[in-house]
Amino acid sequence: MGILNVTPDSFAESPHVQEPDGAAAAAMRMAEEGADLIDVGGESTRPGAEPVSADEELARVMPVLERLRGRLSIPISIDTYKSHVAREAVAAGAAIVNDVSGLRYDPALATVAAETGAALVVMHSRGVSKTMYAEAAYDDLVGEVAAELAASVRSATDAGVPRDRVIVDPGLGFAKRAAHSYGVLAQLPVLAAAVDRPLLVGASRKSFMRNAIGDRPPVERDWGTAAAVAAAVLGGAHIVRVHAVAPMVQVVRVAEEIRKHG
């Protein structure tokens, strides 16, 4: 899954990607490089980020979706937790709704997925962007993450989303200290067995890597990302969400071959 953030405060995007034409070109390039999905986001959800209105989010993503309609041969995911944005984006061609809140912020998002037939990604997180680190306390890391993801899956299915259209994301870096993110990665097989849904893992360029590789800017974390992506695939991830598609395609393919022979 290639990441396409069209936000002025994204932590890892080039400025030209914030413009609709540049963003559409970046999406086409990622598809050529081997991406299977493109995840378009109009609001930064990194820890500490300021929320934006649904109107502002739509103003950022809709011009990109309109430029990609009929041109992109792979599915588009809309990275939003707002039901109104999700409905408009699906109408414009998005096939997947990627909700970082796990349906906690806007439960009506599940209804949108059910009514439109979109697939739904529910991510594990706690609190909101500005306060999530205060919620990073676990007695049983994987058990609690699995239980909270299972609750999100139940919310989706209760709203009418078929279970086989639901994907779960353990939310590396969201309401998790670095040790928690590493712990989730290390125990992905346990988590996968507990939730029994396909896993999406997003480690790309995240700050939890700093305690291993030093205080490098996000664009210099791709080697660390490669290690995390390989670990995710070996641990059973079905989708990995990345910024640098071309090199990570190679990482995924080699890791997948290793997994096959295991």
- Identity of the residue numbered 170: P
Q: What's the domain range around 121?
A: 2-261
Res 51: pLDDT: 87
Low-confidence ranges of the chain (pLDDT < 50): none
Count of C-beta atoms within a 10 Å radius of residue 91: 11
What DSSP assignment string belongs to 33-87? Answer: HT-S-EEEESS--STTPPP--HHHHHHHHHHHHHHHTTT--S-EEEE-S-HHHHH
The residues that are catalytic are 206, 241
pLDDT at 192: 94
Query: How many other CB atoms are found less than 10 A from the CB of residue 164?
Result: 9
User: d(Cα 106, Cα 84) in Å, to the nearest integer?
Assistant: 10
pTM: 0.94
Give me the CATH number covering residue 131: 3.20.20.20
Which pLDDT score is estimated for 13?
A: 53
Q: Give the C-alpha distances (Å, rounded to integers) separating 234 from 199, 201, 262.
A: 12, 12, 9
Number of domains in the chain: 1
**Residue 12 pLDDT:** 53
Whether 99 contacts 112, CB under 8 Å: no
